[in-house]
Amino acid sequence: MTSAYRFIGLFSACALALLAHTAIAQMPQPAPRAPVANTRPSTSPHTMTAEDLSTLFGGMLPYMLARGDIAGGAVVVVKDGKVLFAQGYGYADLKTRTPVSPATTLFRIGSVSKLFTWTAVMQLVEQHKVDLDRDINDYLDFKIPPRFGKPITLRDLMTHTPGFEDTARDLLPATPDGTNLERYLKAHIPVRIFPPGKIVAYSNYGAGLAGYMVQRVSGEPFDTYVQRHIFEPLDMRHSTFAQPLPASLAPLLAKGYASASDGDAKPFELANPAPAGAMTSSALDMANFMITQLQDGRFGNTRILSQRTAELMHSPQHASAPGLNGFDLGFYQENRNGQRIIGHGGDTIVFHSDLHLLLDADVGLFMSFNSAGKNGAINDVRSAIFHAFLDRYFPWHVAEEPTYKDAKSDASLVAGSYESSRRNVSALRFLYLFGQANVQALPDGTITVSMLNDPAGSPLHWREIGPLHYREVDGQALLDFVADARGRILYLATSENPTSILQRMPARLNPAMFMPLLGIALAILLATLLIWLGGWLIRRHYGGILVLSRVQRATRRLSRLGVLVCITTVFGWFLFIVAISANELLLVRGALTPWMYLLYAMGVPALIGALAVIANAAIAWFAPRRSRRVRVGEIFLALAMIYLAWFIVVFGLVSFNVRF
């Protein structure tokens, strides 16, 4: 999701690159929610006219693009069935200085593509060709393996609750041959880690399955189906799921840049699975789609959904905690400023988009940009635009609420480490464990969550206003902790991000606990290697001989070999993390898979080496000729190796599973 997560250190930077900046794996963070019952209007709103919108966006976007080092973008607003405002800002091509056109400049819209996949699904639901609550295996020509005694349904896919682990491999294929939907889905079936319908964990693979079901049930290729049944009826002439783009549209695609100052246009970004994020469109084409959704499936004299089906699509289906934003059928909720809002965002590496529908106000806002900008500035730009738009035309003020009486004790109860439900537990478990969020209790009874920061990077503060129910200090966002019947905290959910939850982790897996111990253990191993090398050089210089029995000599050599393998393994993972932090394509395209096999295989001799070190320490302790200094040193070395062996096992660093 775009931009809510900030992790710690180099390991954290790698996890961020994988989770938040890898093409369609990225997910936009929806706006916080302010329940109507606890809010009241603050000032009179501006009248929403084309002129006033021009003033609003014209006063913000040129400055924001320049400050954020973003090449260009487009914004369109619809109201009451018509396009009220559409404007391009900056450049679609920096080299030729081609300005952005809302009508003809094309953008890769990332995960906003899913809304078209879900719309196609609802068309088939309306025709009684698929059932939202039927086992999805009934519509596939391969099987999702059974687990938890309950099948996955289309409703689960549309609310991102099928229970799949997160996947990243081949999300960004190098060639168009790698975008075959059927082949991709059959080769990348994720592990199911949660019972279906229970835990929200955003899944690109799940959206791909839904698109494949559309393809199989309709008898048409997915992109052909969407073209015939959505794009053409809605007069979306500048939209396609084709990869690469058709010859007629390719010249219209905006160049994509890491940042405007970088100046080097990036190659066309292929995406897998296509139904999850491969669509290309213009701002005005997206205006037609927004009008259709806001008018319950009608565009002019054309209907692509019945009113009843559209209303079902826009109805709440799943929430991780009562009163928080959750999912409708495919759309996620973004309720804010007293408005009922649904939407979706999408990101590739260089393109970034957001779509918001204010259902009761009959207003839609779409924006898309062709650069991530300096330090991912586009995330704050999108959020600021959306919030400024709402505050100008739908101003709202949060009513005063007293702090809950048990705030300080509850803050201590919820403090700790939390892991996202959107994670990989197979090949990349260690990266996700390093990317935990930390909840800290402050002396005044408020809390902070390390992943939830303001645009300046400072942690937001949260005040308890009800049992385990928090509101952002001086803000609208909500955060709830969910406990079991015994009062143990299970997870936290926030209105900032309905696409996943953060699950409570044991203290032993808190980076604040294991990182210092890991550092100490590695320091002991490195010091040991230096001492052994120094001792060998001294004995060689003076002709000394280390008097040991045959058993002592064998275990000593094995222990030293074990330490060397362990150090090499850790250094190998360090290089792996540096490589994918610099270029995530090395990971998602599988270039580093042989390296991963080697590193995982090295975990086996590292564990055996730990046993050798323990055996050598025991023998040294009881050997009559070994000094106390040597005995104590061997014991410390054994303790360090025991901890590293635990770390290797718990963090999944010994495995032959490279599924991710």
Rounded distance, CA 626 to CA 556, Å?
A: 12
Which residues in the chain show pLDDT less than 50?
1-41
Q: Helix, strand, or coil here: 354?
A: strand
Instruction: Give the per-residue pLDDT at 17.
Output: 33
pLDDT tens-digit map of 474-516: 999 999 999 999 999 999 999 989 999 999 998 777 777 777 8
Rg (CA), the chain: 28
Rounded distance, CA 584 to CA 586, Å?
A: 5
Rounded distance, CA 341 to CA 314, Å?
A: 10
Rounded distance, CA 531 to CA 200, Å?
A: 51
**Site of tokens 């009922």:** 340
- Structure-block tokens of residue 600: 């995982």
Rounded distance, CA 546 to CA 645, Å?
A: 29
Are the beta carbons of 3 and 496 closer than 8 angstroms? no
Q: Taking CA 494 as the corner, what is the angle to CA 489 and CA 497, rounded to the nearest 5 degrees?
A: 130
The order of strands in the sheet holding 352-358 is 98-99, 82-93, 72-79, 363-369, 352-358, 341-347, 332-333
pTM of the model: 0.88
**Which residues have C-beta within 8 Å of that of residue 171, sequence separation ≥ 6?**
22, 23, 24, 25, 204, 271, 272, 588
Rounded distance, CA 22 to CA 25, Å?
A: 5
Rounded distance, CA 378 to CA 29, Å?
A: 12
Instruction: Give the per-residue pLDDT at 654.
Output: 79
Rounded distance, CA 339 to CA 512, Å?
A: 40
Are the beta carbons of 26 and 2 closer than 8 angstroms? yes
Rounded distance, CA 469 to CA 492, Å?
A: 10
**Which residues have C-beta within 8 Å of that of residue 368, sequence separation ≥ 6?**
73, 74, 107, 109, 283, 286, 351, 352, 353, 354
Instruction: Determine how β-strand 280-282 pairs with β-strand 469-472.
Output: unpaired
- Structure-block tokens of residue 286: 């997206």
Rounded distance, CA 242 to CA 275, Å?
A: 11
Domains and CATH numbers, the chain: 43-395 (3.40.710.10), 407-505 (2.40.128), 509-650 (no CATH)
Are the beta carbons of 147 and 188 closer than 8 angstroms? no
**Site of tokens 């503060």:** 461
Q: At what angle do helices 628-650 and 511-542 cross, to 10 degrees?
A: 140
